[in-house]
Amino acid sequence: DIVMTQSPDSLAVSLGERATINCKSSQSVLYTSNSKNYLAWFQQKPGQPPKLLISWASTRESGVPDRFSGSGSGTDFTLTINSLQAEDVAVYYCQQFYSTHFTFGPGTTVDLK
């Protein structure tokens, strides 16, 4: 199975500042025939199901604020939250859907400083 790792495990950011979360896959999730990275990002708040923020590494879902952005290709990816808001406090997960055995990263907790 493809192993997903995330860094840092947690971070504390001041309101209005930037949060950066890294995700790495044990093998490339770039499908060369269509040049798409099979990588998604989720946000999960306590007591709620996860919410898809970004698919295909950089495609923001409808309704997701544009302060959230995804980047990267191959094995290295980044989720950036610009100008952090109080409602962004949550756990963030990356996930690969390149293989038929999907896998998630362990999660990164974002808190307010």
Of the candidate residues 11, 28, 73, 102, the single one contacting other proteins (CB under 8 A):
102
- Tell me whether residue 40 or residue 79 sits nearer to other proteins (CB atom): 40
Residue 77 CB partners (closer than 8 Å, separation 6+): 22, 23, 24, 25, 37, 39, 57, 70, 71, 94
- Span of 13-21, 26-34, 63-71, 103-111 interacting with other proteins by CB under 8 A: 103-111
Residues 99, 46: contact at Cβ < 8 Å? no
Q: Give the x-and-dash track for 32-61 against other proteins (CB under 8 A).
A: ------x-x-x-x---xxxxx--xx----x
The reply to whether 106 sits near other proteins by the rule CB under 8 A is yes
How far, in Å, CA of 91 to CA of 76, rounded? 19
